[in-house]
Structure 1
C-alpha cells in the first residue's frame, strides 16, 4: 500500500493541526501529538460544538483494540496539556460529565502551506465540507501513523503501549504471581522511559499490593490479606522493610502526578500509597481529587469508601460504595474487563452493610440485584438465603440453596454460617 498526500489541515483556535505529522503549531510552539491523541482531536473537530460520547470516541479511535475509558481519559489529558487547555476553565475541550467531550474552540479549514491562513469561524458557511474534511483527517491520522512506523517519535509510544497493557492485565488479576509479573514489566518500561506516568503509577500500585496482600513475614512465610484494613490491623506495614517499599511507591506516584497533575488515575495511585501508610486524611483527599476530575472514577470511590469505613464513618462509607456501584453500571459496557470481577461482589458487600444496619428489605434488594446480574452466584445466593432464613422464610432459603447445590455444586455454606455456628 502506498501512502498518498496527507489530508488538509485544520485551524483549531490558535493552533494549526497537521494530521500528516500529528503536529500542532501556533506560530511560536510546535507540539507533536501521539497518534491516538491526534485521532481524538480530529474526531472532535469533525463535529465542533457537539458532544461526542465516550463510547463514540473509543469506537472511532481504538476500533482495533479493546480498551477501557482510562485510555480515552489519558488521551484527553495529553491533548489538553498540548493545547495549553485547563479542564476547569476549558477553552478547547469541554468535559460533559458522565457523557463525553465537546470541542468548543472555533474550527476551520486551512491549506497545508503555513503562509496561507483561513478565516476561522465557529459556524462555517460550508459546514458539510468541514465535516467531510475532518472525517478524512481522522482516517488520515490513523493511516499515516500505521503506514509510517519508522518515524522515531511515533515508535516510542507504540513500543511501550503493549507492555503497559500487558502489565495492567497482570496487575488486575490480583494474584501474587501476576502482581510480580506486572512489577517486572513496569520496571522494564521505566528502564527505557523513566518519565512514563502510566508505568510509574502502575509500578507504585503493584508495589503497594505486594506489601498489603502478599507480605513475606519474618519467618519466611507469605501471608495473605484481602483488604487494607486487615493489613493495617496486622501491623506489618509499619515494619522498616515494608515501610521502605511504600516510600518508594510514594515517590513513584508523586513523580507520575507531577507529570500529569490532572490525571484522576494518578491521584488514585497516590491515595493507595497514603492509605497503606495509614495517612488516611491525605489518602481521602487524593481519592476526592480523582473523583472531582472523573465523576465516574469507581475505583477511587471504592477506595474512598474503605477509608471512610476505617475512620468509623459507616454511613458515608456505605453511600460511597453505592455511588461506586452506580458509576460501574454507567461504565460497564466500555470497561467490562475491569468492572466484571468486582460488580457482583460489590452488590453483595452493599447488601451485607445494609443488613448490619438493620435495613433488611434494602439488603434483600441488593442481593437480588447481584443475582439478577450473575444468577447462582454462590456468595449472593448464600447471603440471600441467610437473610430469608433469619426472617422466617425457611422454605425460600432452602429452595435457593438446593438449586445452588444441584446446579453448581457450590462449596459455599448456604445459608452462610457464622464462625461459631461452623465450629459446632
Structure 2
C-alpha cells in the first residue's frame, strides 16, 4: 500500500505524518510531553502504515514482507529488526506493548486506537490587518516545507547508495573462515546489507553462497567435517526435499544477483556454486568460465571449477585449475589476507598431495616446501615432505623432520607410523 494515502493519523500518543514519516508526541500526553519529534525510517513507516490499515487485525509475517519488501529479499530477521527500530522510535516496550502486539510465529497487530487528524483551518482574519506579516510567514513556511521535502527525499534509502563496503567486507571475511558461527554471522550481515540497499548484487551473491555452505557443511549428523561439495552430491546427502528447497532459495538469490550485475565474477561465482550443489556440474562450469572472463584472479572460482573437473574425471584440467587458484590467491593475498589465509596453505598442500599421488616427487617436494615457507608448522605439509624425503632415500632426514615437528607441536604420535599413514 502507499502509506502517503493515510495522511496524518493519531496513533495512541503519537501524531504520525505518513507523508514525511515525522512522528510528534501528542501534547496532552504526560509520558511523552518532553519527547521530541522523531522521523521513522521508510521501511518502518511502511510497516506502521500496513498495521494501521489493518487496525486490530493480525497481519502475518508473510503478508508484511510481501507488502513492505515487494522487490527485494527480506527474511524474518529483517522484519524483526525493522519492527525493533519502529518500537524504539515510538517508545513501545515489546515486553509490555501499548502500540504493537507480537503474536509468536504468526505476525503482528496494532493495539493503539487510530484517529484521522485534519489540518487546522487558516485564520483568514489575519489577512486583513497583517498582510506583510502574512507574506513573510507564508514565505518562511513555504521555505520550511521545501527544505523538509528535500530532506525527506535525500535520505540514504531514497538516494540508493552504493553497498556499504565495510559491511560487505566483514560479511565476506566471516564467510571465508569455514566455521558455522562465522557462516551464520555472514548470513546476518548480508541480510542487513540487502535491507539497507535492496539492489546490492554482491550481498545477494554472498547470501546465496552462505546458504549453500550451510547446507553442504552443517546440515547433517557430522557438521563441519572435511567433506567436499561433490562428495555430498555424489553420496545423495543433498537430495532430500528440505535441502533441495534450501538450495532453490539460494538459487533465487544468486539469479537475482546475476540479474543486477550480469558480468560480475562474484555474482556468477554464486550462481555456479548453487548449480554445483544441485548437481548441474556442466552448467556450473560454463558459469564459472564466464566469471573468470570477468576476473581471472577470482581464486574461489578456480577452486570450485577444479573440484568439478576432478569429479568429472578431468584430472589434468583439475590440476591446472588448482594451480591457477594458488596463483590468483598469491596475487590477492595482501588485499584479502583475512579471506585467503585459511585457504592458502591448504591449497598448496593439496597440490603437493596431487603430485605425490602422481609420483612426481620433485614437484611434490617443491609445493610442500613452498607451504612451509609461510606456514612452518603445517603438519600435513611437513609429513608430506617427510614422505618425499623417505621415498628419495633420506629416511633419517624424514624422521628428523617429523620429530622436530612432534616436539614443537607437543604431539604424541609415532613418526614412522605417521609418515607411513601420510603416504
* Distance change >3 Å, CA 159–CA 365, structure 1 → 2: closer
Which residue matches 1:386? Answer: 387
* Distance change >3 Å, CA 159–CA 298, structure 1 → 2: closer
Native 8 Å contact 1:367 1:383 kept in 2: yes
Shift of 1:169: 2.4
Which residue matches 1:350? Answer: 351
CA distance in 1, matches of 2:173, 2:229: 21
Cα RMSD of the aligned pairs, angstroms, is 2.7
Which residue matches 2:370? Answer: 369
Cα deviation per residue 1:294-325 (whole Å; 9 max; x = unaligned)? 11111111111111001001111001111111
Native 8 Å contact 1:197 1:259 kept in 2: yes
* Distance change >3 Å, CA 323–CA 233, structure 1 → 2: same
Which residue matches 1:233? Answer: 234
Which residue matches 1:397? Answer: 398
Structure with max Cα Rg: 2
* Distance change >3 Å, CA 245–CA 279, structure 1 → 2: same
Which residue matches 2:178? Answer: 174
Q: How does 1:19-418 map to 2 (within 5 A)?
A: 152-153=155-156, 157=161, 160-216=164-220, 222=223, 224-410=225-411, 414=415, 417=418
* Distance change >3 Å, CA 180–CA 331, structure 1 → 2: closer
* Distance change >3 Å, CA 241–CA 418, structure 1 → 2: farther
CA distance in 1, matches of 2:174, 2:168: 10
Shift of 1:224: 3.8
Native 8 Å contact 2:204 2:253 kept in 1: yes
Shift of 1:289: 0.8
Native 8 Å contact 2:177 2:342 kept in 1: no
Normalising by structure 1, what TM-score? 0.59
* Distance change >3 Å, CA 162–CA 376, structure 1 → 2: closer
Q: Which stretches in structure 2 are left out of the alignment for 5+ residues?
A: 1-150
Shift of 1:335: 2.2
Shift of 1:192: 4.0
Normalising by structure 2, what TM-score? 0.59
CA distance in 2, matches of 1:311, 1:416: 33
Shift of 1:158: 7.4
* Distance change >3 Å, CA 414–CA 367, structure 1 → 2: farther
Which residue matches 2:123? Answer: none
Cα deviation per residue 1:266-287 (whole Å; 9 max; x = unaligned)? 1111110011111000111111
* Distance change >3 Å, CA 245–CA 280, structure 1 → 2: same
Shift of 1:361: 1.2
Q: Which stretches in structure 1 are left out of the alignment for 5+ residues?
A: 1-147
Greater relative contact order: 1 or 2 (C-alpha under 8 angstroms, separation 6 or more)? 1
Shift of 1:414: 4.7
Native 8 Å contact 2:352 2:365 kept in 1: yes
Native 8 Å contact 2:368 2:384 kept in 1: yes
Q: How many residues align?
A: 270
